[in-house]
Structure 1
Amino acid sequence: MKLNQKIVREITPLTESDFFTLFSRKKTEFDFPLHFHEEYELNLILNAKGARRIIGDHVETIDDSELVFIGPNLYHAWFTHQCISEEIQEVTIQFNNEILNTQFLSKNQSSYLRKLFEDSKKGILFPLETITDMQNLILTLKDSHGFTSVLNFMQILHLLSLSPYKTLCNEGFHEASLNANSRRIKLVFDYMNKNFRNDISLQDISSLVNMHEVSLSRFIKKRTGKSFVDCLNEIRIGQVSRLIIDTTQSISEIAYSCGFNNISYFNRVFKKKKGCTPKEFRENFTGVRLYI
């Protein structure tokens, strides 16, 4: 699938007077272009098996139903692709961070919501069990009014924050640092995000956080489930993906500029992370350029 279109900055209809806006549609195809906006967005999509989803640098063909939470300014869209459904159902809820601001999310009781919102910067995909549990709440939200609708909306966010989920984008694509209750792990990821273009060794970071290399390696693995090298590669691949989409630089130039000094190694890492070669990834976005 090649996308011969621009990435559009969407101006949503959300106003300062709204807690959220909700759109419920039934259609036979997806026709909105790859886009981004400042608002958070929760999307429930039903009867769309074979459609193609793009969230940031993540591309995937979807099943019958899915539930996705997207953070601010993250590229996203669904495309008809191989979907032949006669009635796709889509519920889109948009809201900004004013209703759940930093002061609110910093409270101890908001810790799960805080993590949900931080992870949404990379796009969140919820499992089928969550969709089954949440589908009716989301579908009937449009029928509630006044402050009752706000309470129902907050219940949805609360339940989603307790659900298992997976993030979609590579760490570096949205320039997000890991949100964890650890000053050391934050220092590690801040350093890697700022210095990914350079050679970075475990020794460099161990001196930064005052830990022995072996201890730091175990610490990163315990906190993230990934090795130090995997974490660094994820940040670099995220940056590579953005440049492949947004620039006309050659892939080798991009790889070197993002800290990969061996093209063969880069190609192996990229294919393992993205499931396709860098060239195939670029072909998916042929003709796509940022439009503001």
Structure 2
Amino acid sequence: MHNPTKILKEIIPLTQNDCFTIFAREKQSVDYPLHYHEEIELNFIMNAPKARRVIGDHMGETDNLELVLIGSNLQHGWFNHQCTSKEITEITIQFHPDLFDDNLLKRNQLSYIKNLLQLSSRGILFSKQTASAVKPLLLKLPQKQGFESVLELFTILHQLSTSKNYRLLASNNNLHKIKTNNYGNSRLEAVMEYLNNHFHQPINLADIANIAAMTEVSFSRFFKNRTGQTFIDTLNEIRIGHAARLLIETNLSINEIADKCGYNNMSNFNRAFKKRKQCTPKEFRETYTDFGTKMFI
């Protein structure tokens, strides 16, 4: 039984230079804790009937084909429940909310995709017919690369956007959506840009307060009020996100990765990583390399 009060913020190591990430894997269970992230997610699950699906304030059972589009910061999770299958296929695609520029979405040909992305804020469950229709494209996507894979993703989204057979899952009261901060503040934007560009270097509160032209005490209060978390928690969040990507994409040792992400102490790195990913860096790498393929496009 999952704990509905524990909702994890997942940091997906997708940079602004990437279009999307795709994770394809064979698994023996569908236990995935309740979590949220800024990226929009398309999740396809095959051969996992009677698992439990939680999207916002919606709870339901999966069929043997499951295809859901989940909007930015919408809490979601899947749990074994009454599913007994041990041969489950899952393909997860995650992309930035701004992958499609607002000006592009104004064009007539993109109106359906614009509507699709807007509806995803409530979670969209597509029919078995729609899931079956895009299934071949989804299964082939992990084999494609570069621009071809981007075009294929756009084709999949277009096909989904023209489907009439779907169901909106979460209620329209926004209580199920995690509130996030659009910074809208030049001081905070300058701080976040600095953290994202210099996370691999030693950074202390005095440095950051200086960038914001504030005292340390004033900056700490300002940062917590604006972001909902401390400067140290935010810095660790950024560092662990980059570490997760290096664990997936490279053969660097865990020591090397810790160093590249600003940790000169392995116990601090392991502790910070486990706090955010609920597993050690070693376990995280093994999960991705043993049970699936993850690519950044």
Q: TM-score range by the shorter chain?
A: 0.5 to 0.7
Any gaps of 5 or more consecutive residues in structure 2?
A: 178-275, 278-297
**1:212-232: per-residue Cα shift (whole Å, max 9, x none)?**
xxxxxxxxxxxxxxxxxxxxx
Tell me the equivalent position of 2:192: none
What one-letter code is carried by the residue in structure 2 that aligns with 1:26? E
Q: Contact 1:37–1:72 at 8 Å: present in 2 too? A: yes
Q: Contact 1:68–1:125 at 8 Å: present in 2 too? A: yes
1:146 CA displacement = 1.2
1:4 CA displacement = 6.2
Q: Contact 1:122–1:167 at 8 Å: present in 2 too? A: yes
What one-letter code is carried by the residue in structure 2 that aligns with 1:12? I
Tell me the equivalent position of 2:109: 109
Tell me the equivalent position of 2:26: 26
Q: Contact 1:41–1:71 at 8 Å: present in 2 too? A: yes
Matches within 5 A, 1:200-279: none
Tell me the equivalent position of 1:172: 173
TM-score by length of 1: 0.58
- State yes or no: 1:85 paired with 2:100: no
What one-letter code is carried by the residue in structure 1 that aligns with 2:84? I
1:17 CA displacement = 2.0
- Aligned counterparts of 1:18 and 1:168: Cα–Cα separation in 2: 29
- Aligned counterparts of 1:97 and 1:6: Cα–Cα separation in 2: 24
- Aligned counterparts of 2:174 and 2:79: Cα–Cα separation in 1: 21
**Distance change (3 Å), C-alpha of 1:29 and 1:5:** farther
- Aligned counterparts of 1:53 and 1:87: Cα–Cα separation in 2: 18
- Aligned counterparts of 1:136 and 1:175: Cα–Cα separation in 2: 32
- State yes or no: 1:130 paired with 2:130: yes
Q: Contact 1:8–1:34 at 8 Å: present in 2 too? A: yes
What one-letter code is carried by the residue in structure 1 that aligns with 2:42? L
- Aligned counterparts of 1:108 and 1:174: Cα–Cα separation in 2: 32
**1:149-195: per-residue Cα shift (whole Å, max 9, x none)?**
1111110111110012111111113589xxxxxxxxxxxxxxxxxxx
- Aligned counterparts of 1:175 and 1:34: Cα–Cα separation in 2: 12
**Distance change (3 Å), C-alpha of 1:84 and 1:166:** same
- Aligned counterparts of 2:109 and 2:140: Cα–Cα separation in 1: 27
% of aligned pairs identical?
47
Question: 4+ runs of 1 displaced by more than 3 Å?
Answer: none
- Aligned counterparts of 1:38 and 1:174: Cα–Cα separation in 2: 16
**1:188-247: per-residue Cα shift (whole Å, max 9, x none)?**
xxxxxxxxxxxxxxxxxxxxxxxxxxxxxxxxxxxxxxxxxxxxxxxxxxxxxxxxxxxx
What one-letter code is carried by the residue in structure 2 that aligns with 1:23? F
- Aligned residues between the structures: 178
1:31 CA displacement = 3.1
What one-letter code is carried by the residue in structure 2 that aligns with 1:172? N
What one-letter code is carried by the residue in structure 2 that aligns with 1:139? L
- Aligned counterparts of 1:167 and 1:71: Cα–Cα separation in 2: 11
- Aligned counterparts of 2:81 and 2:176: Cα–Cα separation in 1: 29
- Aligned counterparts of 1:84 and 1:49: Cα–Cα separation in 2: 8
**1:56-83: per-residue Cα shift (whole Å, max 9, x none)?**
0000011111100000000000001111
- Aligned counterparts of 1:69 and 1:160: Cα–Cα separation in 2: 9
Q: Contact 1:23–1:92 at 8 Å: present in 2 too? A: yes
1:108 CA displacement = 1.9
TM-score by length of 2: 0.57
Tell me the equivalent position of 1:273: none
- Aligned counterparts of 1:98 and 1:169: Cα–Cα separation in 2: 22
What one-letter code is carried by the residue in structure 1 that aligns with 2:172? E
- Aligned counterparts of 1:60 and 1:32: Cα–Cα separation in 2: 15
- Aligned counterparts of 2:133 and 2:32: Cα–Cα separation in 1: 28
What one-letter code is carried by the residue in structure 2 that aligns with 1:156? I
Q: Contact 1:9–1:35 at 8 Å: present in 2 too? A: yes
**Distance change (3 Å), C-alpha of 1:99 and 1:88:** same
Any gaps of 5 or more consecutive residues in structure 1?
A: 177-290
